[in-house]
Structures are given as structure tokens and as C-alpha cells.
Chain A
Amino acid sequence: MEDIVLDIRGQICPACLLITLREINNSKLQLKRRETRLVVRTDHRDATRTIPGAVFAMGYDVNVVKKGGYYEITLEYKNG
């Protein structure tokens, strides 16, 4: 599975959530067919609440990992 990497380090909310939602919309088909995952890199702490909260309801599994000075949020469309 190929990853789409969205590096939005340096940006703050609501830009983080709006840009992520736009990318999900742009890559909707690939994400829903599970051909790809979306990996969001952010250093804005609040995005670790807003992004998972918003996309979970849209049917995505969310995994958040702290990497160095930033967080990596991986979004993958759920099976079924």
C-alpha cells in the first residue's frame, strides 16, 4: 500500500484540519479502495485531537505516533 504524505509542520489549526480534509477529499477513491493511506505530519498538538476526531466519524482508522519533535497521524479507510 502506497502512502500519501502530507507534511503540514509549521501550520496551525484550523489550517491543519482543513488541509487534511481537502486531501482526503482529493484522494477519496484511492483511500476508499484501500490503495493508499494518508500520513499527516504535524507539529501542532491540537491537530492530534481535531484530525482523529473528524476523520474517525468518516470511517477511517487513525494511528498517531510521536516522532522526534512532531506527530505522525496515519489515516486508513476501515475494512468493510
Chain B
Amino acid sequence: MAGMFRDIFLFKDYFKMRSLFLLVSLASVLLYLSRAFGLVASYPPSFFGPPSMANLLGGVIFGVGMVLAGGCMVGTLYKMGAGNLVSVFAFLGILCGGMLFAEFYPADMSFIKATTFLKSKTALEQIVGAMWMPVLALVLISCFCLYRWSRGKKLVQNAYAQRYLDPWKVAVIMAFIFSLSYVLSGRPLSVTKGYANLSARIEGLFSPRHMDNLPFFKEDSLRFFYGTTIKESVGSDINSLTITQIPLIVGIVLGSFFSSARLKEFKISDLPPWRQIFSAIVGGIMMAIGALMAGGCNLWHIIGGLPVFALQSILFVCGITLGAYMGSHILKRVVI
């Protein structure tokens, strides 16, 4: 997903962004239908709180980070699974970023408290009065755009990699997977707190007493299954993250490994230039801090929150766009 935003600013290339637009639009329709048929009970989703400037600022930090790291939090996992060392450094950066965020978590909470607005509103439908209005507007715009893109053959591009899957096909599959996640668990897929859980475990190995004293690892909780809040800490050994997000993280890495091995493309890559290593680590740290500040990464906000018009996610997308613009300039002038 990093490339979708970055390529617009670096190369004026909108190819991948078209698929993201398709994904969000289709997911929005599927979720609206799921709600109409009573398959999704909690609406607007209770795990999206009222918006604050932390969503915007977190989005900016995340946007810069994902461009510098060469991939988002999920992209980092699948590239790492195929043996790429740039992504291994980005992954280590994300884990370090989780530890750093835990240090200033109380300040982040104060910032959220001070900058939260529309305190009783979490989704656009509470402002416009009905969910069907933004969905209908999105559907009409999507139909118009998709018609033009398919006529102009702008949804497909020649790629020579073996077994290359067109991004628009991936978008359709992802829209169904995310909708299914909403229906089955009442929440979208996410990896952010799974990463934070890994950070806590690693910090716990080296400095257990310090880790135990960090409020972020102790106090945070996860809303789960139709808004029911499970009181548990991000840093505990066994919690809902252990059975949801950690398996997703491991699954993406393993899936990528088996896929690349099957194509005979798995290889531990050579070390990239030191500037790219440094950029990947810094980018990873920024991604983790940005995602934890904003209450979720791009997966959570763009594929999970945007289709239900969560206000937090709308702010996050504004932030990530600005961040990707800034990150692209930094990458071009300093890193490459």
C-alpha cells in the first residue's frame, strides 16, 4: 500500500491507487449489505472512537515512515517472508518503534484528550444522518471511475513476474476477506497491536521491570467481538492479540515464504546500501509510532475504517497522504 500513495508523488503513477479505490468502494458496499442483512450488529463500529488530531498527526508520521521503510506494516512482512533484508531492518524498526511509543504513551493520551473533537461522533453517518448517503455517493463515483478505467485499460498493466496477480483482483479478494472479518469477529483485520505485543515481549526479555512499569503495555485494552471490551494488557503473554494479530503476522510471513519458495524466488538478499538500511529502520520506527498514535495502521484505517466512513480513518487518510508526499521528497533527495 506504500507504493499506492508514494508512486503518485514520485512518478505521478495512479495505477495502484485505482485498485485501492476499488477495494474501499467494494468493501463499503459489502459492509453496508452485511449490516442491512443483520450480519454486522455493532454500527457504527464501536472500536472507532471520536476523532482527534492524533489520528491526523499519526497518519503523517506513518506516511513518512512507510515511504522511508519501502513498505507498510503488512508490506514489510511479505517482503521479509521472501527474504528481503531491507524489510527485515524495517521490521526491527517497527519493533523498536513500539518500545519507544510505550515511553511517551502518557503524553500521547494527554494529546488525544486535548485534541478530541466531535466527542459523541465516530462515523460520518452520525453527521449526515444516514449511512446510505455516503455509500451511494461512493458507489456513483466508483461506477463512473471504474467504467472509465476499464475502457481505458487503466486497471491492468504488463508485468513480467511469474504468476503476477493483477492488483484489481487482489483488491476484490481483500474486500471480501475484510468484510468477512467484520461479520465473523465484529472488527477489521489489524496487525498494529500485534507488533506492539512483540515489542513488549522483547523488551520484557531484556528489561522486565521497566516493561512492567510502562502504562502502555499494562493498561491498554482491546475492543473485541461487537464492542465488548476485553480488559487485558498489550504486553501480557496470552491475550486476544496472541490469537488474532500475531497469527496474522506469522501467517503473512509464512505465506510469502512458501509462495516465493514455490516460484523458486526465495533468497536471503544481499545487504542493501547503508542509506537504505538506515532509512528502513527510521521508517519502521516512524510507522510504529504513527500507527499507535493514530489507533491503527493503514490496514485498520484504510481498509477497515474508510469503508464505514469512520471519522478517525478519514483523518488518518488525510495525514498519510501528506506524510507520503513528505516521505517521497525525503527519499528522493536524501536516501536514493
Q: Which residues of A contact B (CB under 8 A)?
A: 9-15, 17-19, 22, 43-46, 48-50, 52-54, 64, 66, 68-71, 73
Contact = CB atoms under 8 A, between A and B. Distances in A.
A15 B3 CA distance: 11
Interface of B: 3, 6-7, 10-11, 13, 15, 70-71, 79, 84-87, 157-162, 164, 264-267, 269-273, 276, 331-332, 335-336
Contact of A48 (B84, B161, B264): B161
Given A13-B70, A14-B7, A14-B331, A19 B336 contact: yes
Contacts of B13: 50, 53
10 contacts: A10-B272, A14-B11, A18-B332, A45-B164, A48-B159, A48-B164, A49-B161, A49-B164, A52-B160, A69-B265
Contacts of A50: 7, 11, 13
Given A49-B159, A70-B265, 4 more contacts: A43-B84, A66-B160, A69-B265, A69-B267
Contact of B10 (A9, A14, A43): A14
A10 B271 CA distance: 7
A46 to B, nearest CB: 7
Contacts of B271: 10
Nearest to B163: A45
A70 B269 CA distance: 11
B31 to A, nearest CB: 29
Contacts of A10: 84-86, 269-272
4 A-B pairs closest in CB distance: A64-B160, A10-B269, A49-B159, A45-B161
A75 to B, nearest CB: 13
Contact of A53 (B71, B157, B272): B157
B52 to A, nearest CB: 32
B265 A12 contact: no
A13 B273 CA distance: 14
A58 B56 CA distance: 38
Contacts of A14: 3, 6-7, 10-11, 70, 331, 336
A70 B161 CA distance: 10
A20 to B, nearest CB: 11
A35 B41 CA distance: 67
A54 B335 CA distance: 21
A23 B162 CA distance: 26
Nearest to B162: A66
Most interface-central of B6, B10, B86, B160 (chain A CB within 10 A): B160
B325 to A, nearest CB: 14
Q: Most chain-A CB neighbours within 10 Å: which of B10, B13, B269? A: B269
B158 A15 contact: no
B86 A12 contact: yes
A20 B74 CA distance: 26
A12 B75 CA distance: 11
A21 B31 CA distance: 42
A10 to B, nearest CB: 4
Contacts of B272: 10-11, 15
A65 to B, nearest CB: 8
A63 to B, nearest CB: 9
B204 to A, nearest CB: 31
A11 B276 contact: yes
A50 to B, nearest CB: 8
Contacts of B335: 15
Contacts of B70: 12-15
A4 B285 CA distance: 37
Contacts of A15: 70, 272, 276, 335-336
Contacts of A11: 86, 272-273, 276
Contacts of B71: 12
A11 B89 CA distance: 12
